[in-house]
Amino acid sequence: MRKWISCFLALVLLILLSLPALAAESEAQAAAQTLYELGLFKGTGTDATGKPAFDLERAPSRSEAVTMLVRLLGKEREALAGDWNTPFTDVADWAKPYVGYAYANGLTAGVSQTRFGGENSVTAAQFLTFALRALGYESGKDFSWDSAWTLSDDIGLSEGRYDANAKRFTRGDAAIVSLAALRTQQKGGGKTLLQAISDRVDPAGLEVWQSREKEQAAWEKQARSIRVSDYRIPQALGTQHLSFDRALELRYQPPQTIAREVKSLADLLQYMIAARFGCTTDEAYTPWYDGWGYDAPGDAQLRRNKACCCGGYANVASYLLQGDYEKVGMIRWLGGGNHEINWVYQNGTYYVFDLTAYSCLGNYSDRNVPVWKYADLADFYDAMPERFPKSEMTILVAFETDTASYPWGYEFDGVRQSLIFPEQTRGQVQVLHLEENCAVEYRTFAVEDLAVFPGCGLFDGGALILRM
């Protein structure tokens, strides 16, 4: 048990030692790194550690988008070797081979007879058009460029992320779409785009890719023999509707799509098994800022297909099960075994479960993970499961949430230990147990305190979204 709670404890120790938290590896960062390894995505420089910096929050320019298209077509060498003539007078020197190749082959046009508009930002529709062209589809015939997402969604390329009201398209989005394009079969079926251009990518990067795909294939074979019905999930929590094959198809889908099809704890477990949802400690997504921190919300964890410690797992369960039960919430404690787990309420009973116990090691081998039942959460401490020794709890709380775990802070002055929540949550946190010299406190919390968490799903119009 100590292995799967140690990562959470480590985060608390980081606060005590005033060490900076590790930065999260976002979905976009992971996609950009994979493309970089394949030689298909270039950095804009290097960071302080010497690693490539990708400038993922910036909108890509038309020149950058065309360059990506040429690389996805496997035509970079041809483009760089060619002597291209275009009517455009505004193309940067570095982009001329790519723009020249694309123009000569009817893949792009200018914004006027003499201007390419290379510095103009690219929209989602424009970049999806380039990606579809790389896959062999023709705009005006197979799809309309100004609604390219219609076709790209159908073939699993864009996964419902974009539409006419799409947010600002970034280089991070471009990396995600490009990686998805490599996994997608070309028009007419048969080879994926990566298979078609495999002789024109970096061999070392291709080897890493193939190794990952081989590992995933091996897991899928093993995972098909794992039956959710063998786990100790009470029938009162609903039956399993999600099949293994459908869960596997959902692996690259947007979190909201996954959430729509996960309708029970059994469905949640089936999805995690099929997708091989795992645990990470070296990519911990629990940033801290001025004493406040929290684990990334469930949708962010799903996009990475792994969670950072117990809080990340708890957020995944909260995200996927919201609306499936009367209430959804969490239990958190501090002490020798700092941890966070989930509860759901249905038909007068609280059901408590620990998602990390199923999957923290990524093998889903323990079929005896229990789900505990209580008439009142206040009974949890007195009827403490042996899995969670009372000696490891100094502060024990519970709260309801259909978003994510509350931001929290921790203080220890050598005598007094405090678990701190935002003032906005006062009255929403149920204290289940307090040892001597321990307290639950509430302090002013400002949005700017967590400015390092854009797009976290906990803010709306500058206000913290909490269940009041």
The one-character DSSP state at 421 is E
100 pLDDT above the threshold of 60: yes
Reported as a single tens digit per residue, the pLDDT across 39-53 is: 998 888 887 777 888
Beta carbons within 8 Å of 149's beta carbon, 6+ residues apart = 124, 125, 128, 158, 160, 161, 162, 163, 166
Q: Which of 330, 326, 332 is nearest to 345 (CA)?
A: 326
Q: What is the pLDDT of residue 14?
A: 29
299-349 pLDDT, tens digit each: 878 877 877 778 889 999 999 999 999 999 999 998 877 889 999 999 999
Cβ–Cβ under 8 Å, residues 98 and 67: yes
One domain, residues 64 and 186 = yes
Same domain, 323 and 459: yes
Q: Are 454 and 333 in the same domain?
A: yes
Q: Is residue 242 part of a domain?
A: no
> What is the average pLDDT across 270-299?
73
Last residue of one domain, picked from the residues 178, 205, 232: 205
Q: What would the two tokens of residue 126 be?
A: 């424009």
* Confidence band, pLDDT 50/70/90 cuts, at residue 289: low
CA–CA dist 449, 184 (Å, integer) = 41
Q: Which residue has the tokens 């477990």?
A: 269
Structural domain range at position 8:
2-23+278-464
Same domain flag for 72 and 177: yes
How far apart CA 255 and CA 272 sit, in angstroms, is 13
pLDDT band at residue 254 under the 50/70/90 scheme: confident
Report the pLDDT value the prediction gives residue 386, as an integer from 0 to 100.
81
Cβ–Cβ < 8 Å for 265, 321: yes
Mean pLDDT of 389-393: 84
- 243 part of a folded domain: no
DSSP string, 144-180: -GGGTHHHHHHTTSSTT---TTPPPP-HHHHHHHHHH
Decide which of 190, 205, 220 is a domain's last residue. Answer: 205
223 is a domain residue: no
Across the range 411-435, mean pLDDT stands at 90
Tens digit of each residue's pLDDT (9 = 90 or more) over 199-224? 999 999 999 888 988 888 888 898 99
Contact criterion met (CB below 8 Å) for 432 and 377:
yes
Does some domain include residue 436? yes
pLDDT at 249 over 90: no
Dihedral of the alpha carbons of 411, 416, 422, 423, in degrees to the nearest 10:
-150
pLDDT at 229 over 90: yes
- For the stretch 1-24, what's the b/e string if a residue is b when 16 or more beta carbons lie within 10 angstroms of its beta carbon? eeebbebbbebeebbeeeeebbeb
pLDDT of amino acid 448: 56
Shared domain for 182 and 118, answered yes or no, is: yes
Q: What distance in Å separates the CA atoms of residue 187 and residue 254, rounded to the nearest whole number?
A: 23
**Is residue 35 domain-shared with residue 178, that is, in the same domain?**
yes
Q: At what angle do helices 171-183 and 62-72 cross, to 10 degrees?
A: 20
114 and 12 within one domain: no
Q: Are strands 327-334 and 372-374 parallel, antiparallel or unpaired?
A: unpaired
Residues in the chain: 468
- 8 part of a folded domain: yes
Query: What mean pLDDT is predicted for residues 251-275?
Result: 91
296 and 355 both lie in a single domain: yes
> Rg of the chain's alpha carbons, rounded to an integer?
25
Are 12 and 106 in the same domain? Answer: no
Q: In whole numbers, what is the pLDDT of the chain averaged over residues?
A: 83
Same structural domain for residues 291 and 417?
A: yes
- Would 452 be classed as within a structural domain? yes
Per-residue DSSP letters for 34-79?
Answer: HHHHTTS---SEE-TTSPEE--TTSPPBHHHHHHHHHHHTT-HHHH
- Percentage of the chain with pLDDT > 70? 86
Percentage of the chain exceeding pLDDT 90: 47
Choosing from 180, 205, 230, the residue where a domain stops is 205
This prediction has a pTM of 0.69
15 shares its domain with 157: no
Structurally, the chain folds into a number of domains equal to 2
Report the pLDDT value the prediction gives residue 46, as an integer from 0 to 100: 80
For 8-19, the pLDDT digits (tens) are 333 332 222 222
Same domain, 283 and 187: no
pLDDT at 238: 94
Query: Has residue 261 been placed in a domain?
Result: no
Quickly state the pLDDT bin for 189 (edges 50, 70, 90). confident
Q: Within a domain: residue 73?
A: yes
